Amino acid sequence: MNRNKCIANIKAGYLFPEVAKRRREYAQAHPDAKIISLGIGNTTEPILPHIDRGLTEGAAKLATFEGYSGYQDEGIAELRERISKVFYKGQFGIDEIFISDGAKCDIGRLQLMFGAQTPAAVQDPSYPVYVDGSVLIGAGGGWEDSGYKGITYLPCTAENDYFPDLSALKPNCLIYFCSPNNPTGAVAGREQLAVLVRAAQKNGSFIIFDAAYSEYIRDSGLPKSIFEIDEAKTCAIEVNSFSKPAGFTGVRLGWTVVSKELKYSGGESVNADWSRIASTVFNGASNISQAGGMAALDSEGLAEIRKLSDFYLGNARLIRNVLVKAGIVCTGGDNSPYIWARFPGRDSWEVFTEILEKCQVITTPGSGFGPSGQSFIRFSAFGHRADVEEACERLKKL
């Protein structure tokens, strides 16, 4: 049996396990050090009471004849209806919303649906799964100095306001776009997203729009969904998640919106294909997590989501303020839980090591998110307030 060549094509270990490995090595060498993580974007605060009751009551119902339910491949209808009402003003039917075990998992299944023959384009820097998932399905080819062959990297830098030059897009490709962006924290404006939609329509491409951090947007002038843009239904799929707004990173619940207006060039329905994928390689999200999702989307649950995201944004402001006072140029941290900090001319892993050794603080090196991430560090606001405050005191050493 030969090894899958697609796995062999991945250049190195996944970014976050590598960060964890270096943390373990430092801890072993310095057993008395109190290491604080501002690195991986895993939530830290307890699920708030009303949403938690939705989970526990959902579990209890499964022990009754009246409340028991089995497979729900595409999701419980009530939850799909509530998602449409809360996030999309009711513009989608329940058969256009598919419940999942999270945005990251959906991205992998979308890559499976579109297949190895479909080229990909990603923001640079970007969340690693867009690139690594494309390579695993065979769309990326091998590695070269500028990145993976078969993947178009669209630099997003301070110079272009973190919105890429779309003239480099290949025809008939998947465009992975995340706003608020992970890792840069930048949020695309309405006109920028309109440009993105027009570009996708012009060259026959589809946008995979990752809105996992949309509930952190506080500027009312910034769009939370690609579907706030006219005609996006004809060229975009949106993925979203309860992980970061409701603290469901360990519960696992998300959704994907695939409009019936979305068609392949031959006129076939993308919605129908996605429904087939959902029922072929996935048996649906946990019915318990879906009960929690329904609680999260009633008035009391939405208030808890706001409270939790406000808490993490408070952490972000603390981190950003201490970095700015140190003369470090930053973006993000206002409508996003991530702060993207620039260290000109420095290697990202070198800066990661310096921060770890000087401050005993874990961060994420920007180069792990793509070539344009070199010389940057991502700080995450997911942490206990006392830990974040202590980390900020330590960061004054930089």
- One digit per residue, pLDDT tens: the chain, 398 residues? 999 988 888 876 668 888 999 999 999 999 999 999 999 889 999 999 999 999 999 999 999 999 999 988 789 999 999 999 999 999 999 999 999 999 999 999 999 999 999 999 999 999 999 999 999 999 877 777 777 888 999 999 999 999 999 999 999 999 999 999 999 999 999 999 999 999 999 999 999 999 999 999 999 999 999 999 999 999 999 999 999 999 999 999 999 999 999 999 999 999 999 999 989 999 999 999 999 999 999 999 999 999 999 999 999 999 999 999 999 999 999 999 999 999 999 999 999 999 999 999 999 999 999 999 999 999 999 999 999 999 999 999 98
Q: Which of 126, 152, 130, 264 is nearest to 206 (CA)?
A: 264
Show Cβ contacts of residue 148 under 8 Å, excluding neighbours closer than 6 positions. Answer: 9, 11, 131, 134, 135, 140, 141, 142
Q: The pTM is what?
A: 0.96
Residue corresponding to tokens 């990173």: 249
The confidence score (pLDDT) of residue 72 equals 84
Please report the pLDDT score of residue 147 as a whole number.
75
Task: Fill in the DSSP letter of residue 361.
Answer: E
How many Cβ atoms are within 10 Å of 25's Cβ, its own excluded?
A: 11
Q: Which two tokens stand for residue 317?
A: 């402001």
Q: Would you state the pLDDT for residue 141?
A: 76
Which pLDDT value is given to residue 41?
A: 87
Single out the residue of 269, 253, 196 nearest to residue 227, CA to CA.
Answer: 196
CA distance 251 to 186: 27
